[in-house]
Amino acid sequence: MAIEDEESRPREPAPREAEEQAEPAPPLRERLRHLLIGPPRSLKDAGLFKHLSLIPFLAWVGLGADGLSSSAYGPQIAFEALGRHAYLALGLAILTAVTVLVISSAYSRLIEKFPNGGGYVVATKLLGPRFGLVSGCALLVDYVLTVTVSVATAGIALQNALGPFVHFPTTWIMPVNVLLLALLTLLNVRGAKESVVVLAPIFLLFIVTHLILIGVGIFGHPGSVGDASSRLATDVRADWNDPSCGLLGMAALLIRAFALGGGTYTGIEAVSNSMSILREPRVKTAKTTMRYMAVSLAFVASGLILCYLLWNVAPPARDSAETMNSILARNVSSVLPAGGLFCFLTIVTEAALLLVAAQAGFLAGPRTLANLAVDSWAPRRFAALSERLTTQNGVALMSVASLGVLFYAWHDASDTRNVIERLVVMYSINVFVTFSLSMIAMALYWWRVPSERPFRRRRVALFVTGSILCVLILAVTVREGFRNGAWVTILITGGVIGLCMLIRRHYVTVAQKLSSLYADLANLPLPAAAVAREPDPAQPTSVVLVSSYGGLGIHTVYNVFRSFPDHFKNLVFLSVGVIDSGAFKGDHAVEALEHRTQQMLKKYVELGRRLGVPSTLRVAVGTDAVETAEELCHQVAKEFPRSTFFAGKVIFKEEGFWQRFLHNETAVALQKRLHFGGLAMVILPARVY
DSSP code for 45? -
Average pLDDT over residues 621-628: 73
If one compares 530 and 606, the residue with the highest pLDDT of the two is 606
Contacts 24+ apart (CB under 8 A), 605-612: 605/571, 605/573, 606/530, 607/526, 607/554, 607/557, 608/557, 608/571, 608/573, 609/530, 609/531, 609/532, 610/526, 610/527, 610/528, 610/529, 610/530, 610/531, 611/526, 611/527, 611/557, 611/561, 612/527, 612/531
Q: How confident is the model at residue 498 (pLDDT cuts 50, 70, 90)?
A: very high
pLDDT at 3: 38
Distances (CA, A) of 272 to 64, 114, 139: 12, 8, 12
Average of per-residue pLDDT values in the chain:
78
pLDDT digits (tens, 9 = 90+) for 204-219: 888 999 999 999 998 8
The string of pLDDT tens digits covering residues 419-452 is 777 777 777 788 889 999 999 999 999 999 888 8
Q: How confident is the model at residue 459 (pLDDT cuts 50, 70, 90)?
A: very high
Q: What is the 3-state secondary structure (H, E, C) of 526-575?
A: CCCCCCCCCCCCCCCEEEEECCCCCHHHHHHHHHHHHHCCCCCCEEEEEE
> What pLDDT band is residue 390 in, cutting at 50, 70 and 90?
very low
Q: For residue 596, what are the contacts with CB-CB under 8 A and spacing of at least 6?
A: 577
CB 49 within 8 A of CB 279: no
* Domains observed in the chain: 53-503 (1.20.1740.10), 520-688 (3.40.50.620)
- C-alpha 65/C-alpha 71 separation (Å) is 10
CA 490 to mean position of chain CA atoms? 21
Q: What's residue 49's pLDDT?
A: 44
Residues 212 and 342 sit within 8 Å (Cβ to Cβ): yes
Q: Give the lowest-confidence range in 125-134, 236-245, 624-633.
A: 236-245
Q: Which of 367-371, 458-462, 511-515 has the lowest mean pLDDT?
A: 511-515
SS3 label, residue 647: strand
Please state the pTM of the whole predicted model. 0.72
Decide if pLDDT at 582 tops 50.
no
Cβ-based neighbour number of residue 205 at 10 Å: 16
